[in-house]
């Protein structure tokens, strides 16, 4: 096995590593391409800076590792894409790409060729998608090089976009055009099946959304395993959790090969006060890994989406950086266990008897800082380096007085009812008021709304009432723009505001976001 040595430069810079890190770590590479930050739909959460932020973080973390760490991906090949996708889908995608880029060349204006309300092709989409796919196939090639080859690696991460796991064999959707992980699975089998014994491949997906595209492609393919944890009721609504009818109780063999587990989302207050998704993840992910172990894959691909992170605007789950490290480690430990059972070694002469390998590919994740720090921990786990992230105590699940909240909510409703009754009474009295009394009351209302007594407001009562009405409108919440794939984002943003605005001890009624 080829090894790399961490330069002493790091210590000279004051960035000390633990003694366990100073030992040799696996050879690895991050595959990426500058074209991946060119695909852009304005105001879209799947934005170019996702890969830019992540690359900066990965370069900072791994800059002193020897070897060809950051590699530019080649362009993916059609013949590899159609190992998973239908020719019709690829033709349609290329047609849209050609149209959009021809329009751009001619007019220098951006034209969008839509698939659905949040998935569209523009002039740079084709190159980005082909490079993302090329990163996956190139990383697999490097993984299966002979260990003595200078380009050989033990693990890899594809820091690329657009993502892929919602793309079905014949359909682009949910920000995804080409399913990089699924293409990788079929490519590894087709290219290294005979030579390296790569016959069974598992895709493990911890993105907050269900990878319906991967599942659709693998459903009738007995050589592939798909395991996913995802937020219940989030996009795209597929991936039913069939527990407890899994494991030995499974109703069909497919249920042991396509294994879905729900995480319950929630905003950390009434809807899901204990932010249970983190505990659920720790409980359910090993169930998936256990079924994967039973399946005995020869190769593993992580669909590494980081949108189950507590900071993510599209997900409502509560994972932290270290959870992605843990999830990766659990899978790698299972692979090591299987290798030991089967007597596989790193450099066995029989290539089918070499240790299993794993690669990660970016899926979702929309908080730029969270995806960067999470990706660093994911890659550290792929390298079998210890986790360097620990969630501060203040981010731990909130302890909320539910009974108190409910009581205060009821009290508030009663207060509101009382106010409404009083308003009705005032309206009735209004008819009996003199013109002077009406003006006085309107002025009082205006002062209450603005917080200060407004004097010398000139004009008729109607004008004064209009001022009050406009003030009332300007104080109302702004209507929220709803975009299908990010329908949950408002709640999440509010959740973040809530967390920022409250201590762990008390929540006021104004902060309760759940109906």
Scanning residues 300 to 319, which ones bind Zn ion (CB under 5 A)? 305, 307
Q: Which two tokens stand for residue 275?
A: 């932010």
State the minimum distance, in angstroms, from the CB of residue 235 to Zn ion: 8
CB of 113 closer than 8 Å to CB of 102: no
State the minimum distance, in angstroms, from the CB of residue 166 to Zn ion: 8
In sequence order, what are the residues at sequence separation of 6 or more whose Cβ sits closer than 8 angstroms to the Cβ of residue 341?
none
Work out which of 160, 364, 383, 442 binds Zn ion, going by CB under 5 A. Answer: 364
Dihedral sign, CA of 76, 79, 82, 87? positive
State the minimum distance, in angstroms, from the CB of residue 209 to Zn ion: 4
Q: Measured from the CB atom, is 209 or 232 closer to Zn ion?
A: 209
In degrees to the nearest 10, what's the CA dihedral of 346, 349, 351, 357?
A: 0
CB of 76 closer than 8 Å to CB of 178: yes
Distance CA 142, CA 136 (A): 10
Where do the DSSP E strands lie in 136-289?
155-158, 201-205, 224-231, 258-263
Q: Measured from the CB atom, is 162 or 273 closer to Zn ion?
A: 162
Q: Measured from the CB atom, is 118 or 207 closer to Zn ion?
A: 207
Q: How far apart are the first and last CA of the chain?
A: 58
Under rule CB under 5 A, residue 265 binds Zn ion:
no
User: What binding mask, one character per residue, do residues 442-461 give for Zn ion by CB under 5 A, x or -?
Assistant: --------------------
Mapped onto helix, strand or coil, the DSSP state of residue 304 is: strand
State the minimum distance, in angstroms, from the CB of residue 497 to Zn ion: 22
CB of 382 closer than 8 Å to CB of 157: yes
Question: What residues are paired with 261 via a beta bridge?
Answer: 229
Q: Measured from the CB atom, is 482 or 505 closer to Zn ion?
A: 482
Work out which of 166, 209, 284, 344 binds Zn ion, going by CB under 5 A. Answer: 209
Q: Measured from the CB atom, is 307 or 323 closer to Zn ion?
A: 307
Distance CA 252, CA 353 (A): 31
CB of 177 closer than 8 Å to CB of 100: no
Residue 306: name the closest of 328, 290, 289 by CA: 328
Angle subtended by helix axes 125-143 and 180-196, to nearest 10: 30
State the minimum distance, in angstroms, from the CB of residue 107 to Zn ion: 33
Distance CA 172, CA 188 (A): 22
In sequence order, what are the residues at sequence separation of 6 or more whose Cβ sits closer than 8 angstroms to the Cβ of residue 79?
none
Tell me 147's DSSP state: T
State the minimum distance, in angstroms, from the CB of residue 404 to Zn ion: 35
Stretch that binds Zn ion, among 31-39, 208-216, 376-384, 405-413 (CB under 5 A): 208-216
> Minimal CB distance to Zn ion: which residue?
364
State the minimum distance, in angstroms, from the CB of residue 307 to Zn ion: 4
Q: Measured from the CB atom, is 27 or 264 closer to Zn ion?
A: 264
Stretch that binds Zn ion, among 93-101, 340-348, 360-368, 427-435 (CB under 5 A): 360-368
Annotated active-site residue in 166, 209, 309, 485? 166
Distance CA 243, CA 250 (A): 8
Under rule CB under 5 A, residue 46 binds Zn ion:
no
Tell me 478's DSSP state: P
Stretch that binds Zn ion, among 182-190, 217-225, 358-366, 457-465 (CB under 5 A): 358-366
Under rule CB under 5 A, residue 207 binds Zn ion:
yes
Q: Measured from the CB atom, is 215 or 307 closer to Zn ion?
A: 307
State the minimum distance, in angstroms, from the CB of residue 211 to Zn ion: 8
CB of 361 closer than 8 Å to CB of 178: no
# residues near Zn ion by CB under 5 A: 5
Question: What single string gives the DSSP state of each residue in 227-242?
Answer: EEEEETT-TT------
Is residue 220 part of the annotated active site? The answer reads no
CB of 331 closer than 8 Å to CB of 300: yes
CB of 315 closer than 8 Å to CB of 306: no
Q: Measured from the CB atom, is 307 or 488 closer to Zn ion?
A: 307
Q: Measured from the CB atom, is 189 or 303 closer to Zn ion?
A: 303
Residue 486: name the closest of 109, 20, 44 by CA: 44
State the minimum distance, in angstroms, from the CB of residue 223 to Zn ion: 25
CB of 238 closer than 8 Å to CB of 303: no
Interaction site with Zn ion (CB under 5 A): 207, 209, 305, 307, 364
Catalytic residues: 166
């Amino acid at each position: 096995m080829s090894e790399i040595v961490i330069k002493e430069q790091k210590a000279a810079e004051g960035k000390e590593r633990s003694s366990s890190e100073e030992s040799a770590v696996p050879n690895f590479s991050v595959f990426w391409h500058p074209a991946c930050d060119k695909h852009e739909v304005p105001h879209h959460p799947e934005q170019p800076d996702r890969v830019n932020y992540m690359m900066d973080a990965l370069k900072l973390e791994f800059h002193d590792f020897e070897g060809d760490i950051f590699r530019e991906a080649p362009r993916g090949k059609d013949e590899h894409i159609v190992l998973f996708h239908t020719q019709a889908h690829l033709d349609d995608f290329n047609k849209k790409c050609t149209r959009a880029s021809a329009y751009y060349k001619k007019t220098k204006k951006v034209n969008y060729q839509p698939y659905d309300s949040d998935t569209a092709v523009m002039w740079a989409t084709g190159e980005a998608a082909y490079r993302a796919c090329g990163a996956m196939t190139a990383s697999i090639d490097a993984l299966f090089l002979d260990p003595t080859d200078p380009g050989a690696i033990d693990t890899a991460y594809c820091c690329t976009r657009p993502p892929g796991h919602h793309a079905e064999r014949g359909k682009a959707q949910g920000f995804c055009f080409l399913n990089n992980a699924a293409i990788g699975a079929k490519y590894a089998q087709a290219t290294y099946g005979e030579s390296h014994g790569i016959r069974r491949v598992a895709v493990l997906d911890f993105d907050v959304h269900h990878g319906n595209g991967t599942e659709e492609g693998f459903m009738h393919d007995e050589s592939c395993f798909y395991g996913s944890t995802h937020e219940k009721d989030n996009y795209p609504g597929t991936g039913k959790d069939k527990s407890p009818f899994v494991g030995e109780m499974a109703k069909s063999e497919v249920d042991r090969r396509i294994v879905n587990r729900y995480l319950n989302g929630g905003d950390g207050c009434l809807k899901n006060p204990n932010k249970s998704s983190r505990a659920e993840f720790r409980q359910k992910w090993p169930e998936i890994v256990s079924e994967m172990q039973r399946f005995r894959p020869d190769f593993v691909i992580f669909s590494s989406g980081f949108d189950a992170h507590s900071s993510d605007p599209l997900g409502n789950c509560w994972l932290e950086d270290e959870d992605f490290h843990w999830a990766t480690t659990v899978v790698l430990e299972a692979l090591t266990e299987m290798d030991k059972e089967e007597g596989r070694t790193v450099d066995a002469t029989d290539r089918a008897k070499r240790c299993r390998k794993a690669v990660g590919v970016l899926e979702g994740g929309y908080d730029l800082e969270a995806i960067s720090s999470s990706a660093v921990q994911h890659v550290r786990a792929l390298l079998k380096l210890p986790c360097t992230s620990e969630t501060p105590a203040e981010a731990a699940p909130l302890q909320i007085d539910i009974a108190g909240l409910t009581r205060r909510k009821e009290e508030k409703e009663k207060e509101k009812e009382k106010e409404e009754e009083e308003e009705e009474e005032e309206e009735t009295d209004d008819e009996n008021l003199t013109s002077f009394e009406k003006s006085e009351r309107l002025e009082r209302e205006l002062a209450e709304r603005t917080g200060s007594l407004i004097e010398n407001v000139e004009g008729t009562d109607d004008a004064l009432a209009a001022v009050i009405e406009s003030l009332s409108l300007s104080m109302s919440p702004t209507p929220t723009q709803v975009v299908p794939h990010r329908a949950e984002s408002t709640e999440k943003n509010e959740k973040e505001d809530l967390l920022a605005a409250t201590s762990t001890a008390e929540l006021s009624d104004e902060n309760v976001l759940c109906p």
